[in-house]
């Protein structure tokens, strides 16, 4: 039992320091990422690197507001990722819809459809805020607190119900 | 039982098999397989080497021999025929004229025994012609354009035959007899220029049959249009007749006698052999590039045969003992791998009715054994250890390295690396990738087809791990014809440069695989997903479930590569252009030539007689 | 005897794993410094590999998807055995160059099979590019090595190392060939500018597109082992191997870091451009080297 716990702790530490990120750039937030990744702020020193496909990624970074059209793809992409996996909501839009909150097709609360592990508030959050947020995420993963993917698995019906409500029949799931 | 009796038996059995097939084609094919097996057993059981004669008239007879120098070819021919016949028990189900097919393939078997067992040139020629005619009918039994393909085949074969018969007359004229032994005894009395002429005639005939560039033009259509099980015979054995002829004439003319005195040197007596070595190099390169650009799996293998014909010719004309043994081994390798590839593609055609690569896909789930056969064959063809193909390639490379001929080595390397590209194409397009909806219910082929393919697979692996099984008869062949034999034991090969131990290679590879498996099993178990669950850049492709072929990358697979060769001319088009030019300028003759009668043939005969007379004149 | 060989083989594989994974991590640091970044710690690649191996789920696209990965990984580990490392040889006398080159191909074939077995068109495109590019980079390298083997009258890598101990490095006797081979090895490794098969922004990392979890971890290991073989070949053939494993490692590090530095400031070739590049410059220079070397040798 103790060794299992220790093993889990080691795994979590390793996971926390190697985060491959798939950024789903739906809004204007993506513009903050290049300085975060390159020389000025250098995200790679924390072990965070961009990846091309959801199969290889650990973090799904959703930058900016989601519409009904993009949410469908985000859900599809999230379900293609392999657990443990984390969702980071980037910018105010993912929290409450941001400045587009009253648009007819904007998804205001991401948390209803996907288990968000960390929000980066701001419109837009500066690279410092992003780095700060990721450090927080690493801390959470190391402690084993970032378990949104488990939550999604356990409360699958609830999430599916919400997703259906927003998207109707066009929802496509992998399983 | 000497060979002459076996040949008579095969001839008689062909009639019996035809009659039995009339009543029940399956019984007929089983009888055919049994006949081949029994004949092979008698040849093996006989054990001692012997010569025999088959009298036709009082003083004319066909001479046969069973000796070190042709033993391995005889067994190759018999085993290929047994495997194909086994495959045919289920495989010819869809053919229109099954009894005729069985009858003709038995005659092919007879001609194989005759050609490889011949002890004089006329016997060789008679059975060679038998093979040509029978193949003509067999090819024309195939697909839509097979009649045209058969005509082209016949035309090229006829040219080869005329070249050969001219050569035989020249030999007869020079030494007063056409038996092999007579030629060996009187070799010294032939003048240099005559030697050169004879050699050229025979080698050209062999090149046409062997499909070496630029005389390969019959192969593409004949291979793709002929019935599938016959294509295996065509590429497994009949194409090798050409190289047997080159090998045979090489025994009498340059190779054996030069090597006896000077084993490590290039053939210097005849400048032509260097020419042929370079021709072989060009053949390898052109065949490889052409194969990469094909879309039909059978055409692709046909062009790969052009490339591998180049390897064999290269080995034979190169002239070192190692290269010579490599050439003979490569004949076996190519026979076995081409057999495996054509049988598996034939099996795919049997079930799906197409050999176009971009129409197929994902068949591994339905036909795992066919896939395995294809995979093992291509690994062997590409010369990847630890399978059989590596042995012959290693031997050819060693002799190229010893002599530092870097252009030829470049060609050999090009063919070898290029072969990864073209053999992978059907693997990716036919067996892997997305499976179209219409092939969801395709079944694996019936039992006997599986059995035939399984034997090929097992032999390829076995000879790869223990190449000594094949090299031993080759060594005794080399000893008997007076070449310094290569050094090899059951699983070791020695060249002047280094040692190859196939057993160690195999064991280490196996150990690596097991270690990989252990590491793989240590970690969490994966989940299986359906084929349409793909990364699609977030896009949801609703058609993916109903129409998977839209997500299958098989068309223009090597588009970037083919862009490099867009401006290159094709030899076939060049010939066609030449023919068009001729037909436009000699319209009258064309009418005469292309009339749908035997006239064209007669015209060819008269031309040949003129050529013969001209040669006799000078 | 056999136990000894197995033991040494395992030591070699484990050592190569530690060495190359650490070196790849270090090379990330080098690239970061070139780009004026701080860069990750040098054991970052261990974290990445183990993170993937420890993933709780991963997906498989069927038997050939798994089998190909095993074939690639097993074949590459097997190839490691046939290379001399300084004075260290796992099976003495078994260092046949042609075996190494062709066994390495089994890794590529397994990988190609597995990737195409995933039925993703991006993977197929990547594989078609990789195979096309292979026809480019292998040829000049093989021509140069052929001339070297002809002059030294041996085709075993150990023999070539021995002859260099007597005659000096091949880098000095065949400088053009060494340059050509250096570029060829960069092509083998898929370093920029020859990384069109795995172009992440274009075809979503090509062959690797469908690999997740432990599959990806294993393939990262496989890539590292293949790197050991390819760079090791260059060190053995041109830099005289090493009298012991430490000197070998130092030469290896120099060559590898040099490649990383060169590739870090180059853009990407289109695949036919890279094939043309190798045929035009690589082949002509290789043939030039062949003519010069054979000329000197025959005189």
Query: For position B546, what pLDDT does the model report?
Result: 67
pLDDT band at A173 (very low <50, low <70, confident <90, very high): low
- Distance from the Cα of C249 to chain B's closest Cα (Å) equals 23
Q: Using the 8-state DSSP alphabet, how is residue C278 labeled?
A: I
Here the tokens at position B424 are: 């992978």
| Buried residues in C32-70 as b, exposed as e (16+ CB within 10 A) | beeeebebbbbebbbbbbbbbbbbebbbbbbebbbbbbb
The average pLDDT across C48-57 equals 88
Q: How many Å apart are CA C52 and CA C224, to the nearest integer?
A: 15
Residues paired with residue A63 on neighbouring β-strands, in sequence order: A25, A90
Residue A175 lies in a domain: no
Which of the residues B529, B532, B538 would you substitute to probe the A interface, choosing the one with the greatest number of A C-beta atoms within 10 Å? B538
* Residue among C38, C47, C205 minimizing CB distance to A18: C47
- Could you identify the residue written with the tokens 């500018």? C193
Residue B589: per-residue pLDDT:
57
* pLDDT of C211 over the 70 cut: yes
What is the CATH number for A71?
Answer: 3.40.50.12280
Confidence of residue B260 (pLDDT cuts 50, 70, 90): very low
- pLDDT on residue B256: 41
CB contact under 8 A, C216 and A38: no
Q: What pLDDT does residue B584 have? A: 67
Bridge partners of B111, per DSSP, are none
Smallest Cβ–Cβ distance between B534 and the set C55, C120, C159 belongs to C120
> What does residue B62 show for φ and ψ, rounded to 5 degrees?
-90, 130
Beta strands in A44-84 (DSSP E): 48-50, 59-63, 66-67
Residue C257 has a pLDDT of 92
Percent of chain B residues topping a pLDDT of 90: 0
pLDDT interval class at A149 (50, 70, 90): confident
Q: Do C62 and B508 touch (CB under 8 A)?
A: no
Which of 505-534 (B) contact A at CB < 8 A? 529, 533
- Chain A residues 4-43 with a CB less than 8 Å from chain B: 24
d(CA B29, CA B40): 17
pLDDT tens across C213-252, in order? 888 889 889 989 999 998 988 988 888 877 788 888 888 9
Q: What is the pLDDT of residues B378-415, one digit of tens each?
A: 888 888 877 888 888 888 888 887 777 777 888 888 88
Q: Nearest-5° angle of CA C121, CA C45, CA B527?
A: 45
Rounded to 10°, the helix C284-298/B406-426 angle is: 150
Give me the helices (H) in B58-211, please: 68-91, 98-117, 121-140, 146-175, 180-185, 192-210
- Look-up: residue for tokens 């005509």? B151
Q: Judge whether A22 lies within some domain.
A: yes
Give pTM, 2 decimals. Answer: 0.86
Helix, strand or coil, per DSSP, at residue A17: coil
pLDDT digit string, tens, across residues B349-387: 888 877 788 788 778 888 888 888 888 888 888 888 778
- Which of the other chains make 3 or more beta carbon contacts under 8 angstroms with chain A? B, C
Q: Would you say B243 and B203 are in contact if contact means Cβ atoms under 8 Å apart?
A: no
Angle subtended at Cα B505 by Cα B499 and Cα B510, rounded to the nearest 5 degrees: 170
Task: Please give the structure tokens belonging to residue C31.
Answer: 């690239």
CA distance B345 to B360: 11
A55 → chain B, closest CA residue:
B535
Residues of A in contact with B539 (CB under 8 A): 73
pLDDT beyond 70 at B319: no
What pLDDT sits at residue B48? 64
Mean pLDDT within B469-497: 76
Our count of domains for chain A comes to: 1
Residue with tokens 């190449």: B467
Say if residue B198's pLDDT is above 70: yes
| DSSP element (H, E) containing A87 | strand A86-90
This model of the complex carries an ipTM of 0.88
Residues of chain A with Cβ-Cβ distance to C56 below 8 Å are 82-84
Q: How far apart are CA B330 and CA B412, in angstroms?
A: 13
pLDDT at B594 over 70: no
Cβ–Cβ below 8 Å for C204 and A52: yes
Chain B neighbors of A73, CB-CB under 8 A: 538-540
Tokens of B296: 């039909």
What's the mean pLDDT in C104-110?
A: 84
* Rounded mean pLDDT, B186-204: 75
Q: At what angle do helices C213-238 and C245-264 cross, to 10 degrees?
A: 110
CA dist B269 and B288 (Å) reads 31
Which of A40, A50, A55, A131 to mutate against chain C (most C CBs within 10 Å)? A55
Mean pLDDT across C57-74: 87
Rounded distance, CA C27 to CA C21, Å? 10
**The two three-digit tokens of residue C119, written as one number:** 């039925």
Whole-number Å distance between alpha carbons of C25 and C39: 9
Q: What span, in angstroms and rounded, lies between the C-alpha atoms of B397 and B403?
A: 10
Structure confidence at residue B582 (pLDDT): 67
- Residue B497 CA to residue B479 CA, distance in Å, equals 22
Among B63-77, B190-204, C52-66, which stretch is predicted with the lowest mean pLDDT?
Answer: B190-204
The whole-number average pLDDT for the span B284-299 is 83
Q: What is the pLDDT of residues A15-51, one digit of tens each?
A: 888 888 888 877 777 788 888 888 888 888 888 888 8
Q: What confidence score (pLDDT) does residue B539 get? A: 75
- C58–B526 CB contact, under 8 Å: yes
pLDDT of residue A174 exceeding 60, the answer is no
Does residue A20 sit within a domain?
yes
Q: What is the pLDDT of residue B57?
A: 61
Has residue A98 been placed in a domain? Answer: yes
* pLDDT higher than 60, residue B265: no
State pLDDT tens for residues B92-134: 777 778 888 888 888 888 888 888 888 888 888 888 888 888 8
Mean pLDDT computed over C139-152? 86
- Cα dihedral B67, B70, B76, B79, rounded to 10, equals -40
Range of the structural domain that residue A32 is part of:
2-170
In whole angstroms, what is the distance from residue B25 CA to residue B382 CA?
37
CB B54: neighbour CB atoms within 10 A?
Answer: 16
Residue A14 and residue C32: Cβ atoms within 8 Å? no
B428 pLDDT exceeds 70?
yes
* B462 Cβ neighbours under 8 A, 6+ residues apart: B469
Please state the length of chain B. Answer: 618
Ordered by start, the domain boundaries in chain C are: 59-298
The number of C-alpha atoms within 13 Å of B234 and in the hemisphere containing its C-beta is: 34
Question: What is the three-class DSSP state of C124?
Answer: helix
Tens-digit pLDDT profile for residues B544-578: 666 666 677 877 788 878 777 777 666 667 777 77
- Is beta strand B492-494 parallel, antiparallel or unpaired with respect to B499-501? antiparallel
Query: What does DSSP assign to residue C239?
Result: S
Domain assignment of residue A43, yes or no: yes
Q: How many residue contacts between A and B have a Cβ separation below 8 Å?
A: 18
- Residues 6 or more apart whose CB falls under 8 angstroms from that of B418 comprise B285, B288, B289, B291, B292, B307, C135
Looking at the predicted structure, is the pLDDT value of residue B58 above 50?
yes
- Is residue B3 pLDDT above 80, yes or no? no
Residue corresponding to tokens 């959050």: A125
């Amino acid at each position: 039992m103790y060794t299992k716990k220790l093993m889990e702790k080691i795994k979590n530490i390793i996971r926390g320091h190697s985060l491959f990120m798939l950024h789903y750039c739906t809004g204007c937030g993506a513009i903050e990422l290049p300085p975060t990744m390159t020389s000025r702020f250098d995200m790679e020193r924390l072990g965070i690197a961009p990846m091309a496909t959801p199969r290889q990624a650990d973090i799904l970074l959703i930058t900016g507001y989601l519409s009904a059209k993009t949410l469908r793809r985000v859900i599809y992409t999230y379900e293609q990722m392999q657990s443990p996996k984390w969702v980071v909501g980037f910018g105010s839009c993912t929290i409450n819809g941001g400045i587009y909150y009253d648009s007819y097709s904007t998804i205001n609360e991401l948390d209803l459809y996907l288990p968000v592990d960390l929000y980066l508030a701001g419109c837009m959050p500066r690279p410092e805020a992003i780095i700060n947020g990721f450090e927080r995420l690493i801390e959470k993963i190391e402690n084993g607190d970032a378990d949104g993917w488990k939550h999604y698995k356990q409360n699958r019906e609830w999430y599916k119900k919400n997703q259906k409500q927003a998207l109707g029949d066009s929802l496509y799931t992998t399983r | 039982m000497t060979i002459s009796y076996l040949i008579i038996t095969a001839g008689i059995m062909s009639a019996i098999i035809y009659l039995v097939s009339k009543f029940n084609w399956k019984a007929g094919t089983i009888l055919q397989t049994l006949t081949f097996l029994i004949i092979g057993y008698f040849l093996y059981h006989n054990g001692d080497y012997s010569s025999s004669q088959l009298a036709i008239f009082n003083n004319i007879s066909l001479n046969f021999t069973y000796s070190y120098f042709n033993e391995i070819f005889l067994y190759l021919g018999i085993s290929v025929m047994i495997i194909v016949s086994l495959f045919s028990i289920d495989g010819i189900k869809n053919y229109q004229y099954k009894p005729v097919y069985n009858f003709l393939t038995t005659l092919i078997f007879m001609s194989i025994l005759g050609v490889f067992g011949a002890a004089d040139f006329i016997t060789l020629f008679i059975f060679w012609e038998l093979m040509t005619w029978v193949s003509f009918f067999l090819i024309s039994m195939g697909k839509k354009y097979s009649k045209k393909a058969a005509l082209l085949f016949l035309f090229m074969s006829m040219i080869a035959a005329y070249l050969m018969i001219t050569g035989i007359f020249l030999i007869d004229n020079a030494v007063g007899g056409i038996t092999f032994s007579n030629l060996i005894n009187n070799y010294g009395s032939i003048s240099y220029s005559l030697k050169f002429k004879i050699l050229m005639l025979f080698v050209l005939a062999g090149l046409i049959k062997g499909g070496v560039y630029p005389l390969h033009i019959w192969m593409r259509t004949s291979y793709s249009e002929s019935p599938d099980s016959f294509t295996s015979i065509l590429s497994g054995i009949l194409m090798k007749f050409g190289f047997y002829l080159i090998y045979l004439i090489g025994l009498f003319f340059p190779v054996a006698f030069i090597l006896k005195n000077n084993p490590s040197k290039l053939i210097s007596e005849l400048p032509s052999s260097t020419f042929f070595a370079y021709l072989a190099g060009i053949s390898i390169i052109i065949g490889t590039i052409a194969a990469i650009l094909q879309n039909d799996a059978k055409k692709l293998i046909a062009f790969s045969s052009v490339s591998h014909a180049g390897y064999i010719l290269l080995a034979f004309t190169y002239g070192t003992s190692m290269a010579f043994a490599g050439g003979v081994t490569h004949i076996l390798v190519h026979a076995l791998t081409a057999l495996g590839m054509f049988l598996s593609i034939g099996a795919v055609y049997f079930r799906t009715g197409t050999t176009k690569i971009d129409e197929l896909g994902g068949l591994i789930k339905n036909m795992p054994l066919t896939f395995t056969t294809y995979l093992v064959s291509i690994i062997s063809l590409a010369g990847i250890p630890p399978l059989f193909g590596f042995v012959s390639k290693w031997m050819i490379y060693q002799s190229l390295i010893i002599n530092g001929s870097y252009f030829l080595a470049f060609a050999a390397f090009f063919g070898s690396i290029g072969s990864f590209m073209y053999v992978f194409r059907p693997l990716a397009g036919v067996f892997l990738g997305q499976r179209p909806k219409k092939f969801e219910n395709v079944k694996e082929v019936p039992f006997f087809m599986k059995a035939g393919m399984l034997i090929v697979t097992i032999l390829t692996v076995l000879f790869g791990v223990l190449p000594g099984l094949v090299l031993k008869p080759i060594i005794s062949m080399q000893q008997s014809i007076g070449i310094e034999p290569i050094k090899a034991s059951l699983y070791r090969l020695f060249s002047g440069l280094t040692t190859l131990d196939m057993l160690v290679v195999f064991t280490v590879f196996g150990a690596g695989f097991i270690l990989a498996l252990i590491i793989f099993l240590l970690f969490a178990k994966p989940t299986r997903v359906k084929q349409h669950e793909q990364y699609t850049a977030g896009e949801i492709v609703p058609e993916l479930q109903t129409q998977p072929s839209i997500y299958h990358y098989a068309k223009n697979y090597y588009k970037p590569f083919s862009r490099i060769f867009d401006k290159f001319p094709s030899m076939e088009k060049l010939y066609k252009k030449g023919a068009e030019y001729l037909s436009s300028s000699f319209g009258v003759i064309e009418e005469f030539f292309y009339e749908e009668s035997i006239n064209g043939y007669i015209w060819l005969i008269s031309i040949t007689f003129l050529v013969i007379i001209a040669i006799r004149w000078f | 005897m056999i136990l000894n060989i197995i033991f040494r083989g395992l030591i070699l594989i484990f050592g190569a794993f530690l060495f190359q994974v650490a070196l790849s991590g270090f090379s990330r640091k080098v690239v970061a410094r070139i780009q004026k970044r701080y860069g990750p710690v040098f054991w970052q690649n261990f974290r990445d590999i183990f993170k993937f191996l420890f993933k709780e789920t991963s997906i498989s696209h069927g038997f050939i998807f798994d089998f190909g990965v095993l074939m690639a990984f097993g074949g590459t580990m097997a190839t490691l055995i046939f290379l001399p490392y300084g004075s260290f040889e796992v099976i003495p006398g078994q260092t046949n160059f042609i075996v190494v080159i062709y066994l390495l191909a089994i890794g590529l074939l397994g990988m190609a099979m597995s990737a195409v077995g995933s039925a993703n068109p991006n993977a197929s495109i990547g594989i078609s590019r990789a195979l096309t590019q292979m026809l480019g980079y292998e040829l000049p390298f093989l021509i140069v090595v052929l001339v070297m083997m002809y002059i030294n009258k041996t085709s075993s890598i150990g023999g070539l190392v021995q002859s260099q101990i007597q005659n000096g490095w091949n880098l000095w006797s065949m400088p053009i060939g060494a340059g050509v081979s250096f570029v060829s090895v960069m092509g083998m490794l898929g370093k920029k500018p020859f990384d069109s098969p795995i172009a992440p922004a274009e075809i979503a990392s090509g062959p690797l597109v469908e690999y997740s979890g432990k599959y990806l971890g294993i393939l990262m290991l496989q890539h590292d082992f293949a790197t050991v073989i390819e760079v090791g070949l260059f060190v053995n053939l041109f830099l005289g191997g090493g009298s012991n494993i430490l000197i070998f490692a130092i030469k290896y590090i120099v060559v590898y870091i040099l490649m990383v530095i060169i590739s870090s400031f180059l853009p990407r070739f289109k695949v036919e451009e890279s094939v043309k590049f190798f045929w035009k410059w690589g082949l002509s220079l290789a043939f030039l080297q062949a003519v010069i070397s054979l000329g000197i040798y025959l005189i």
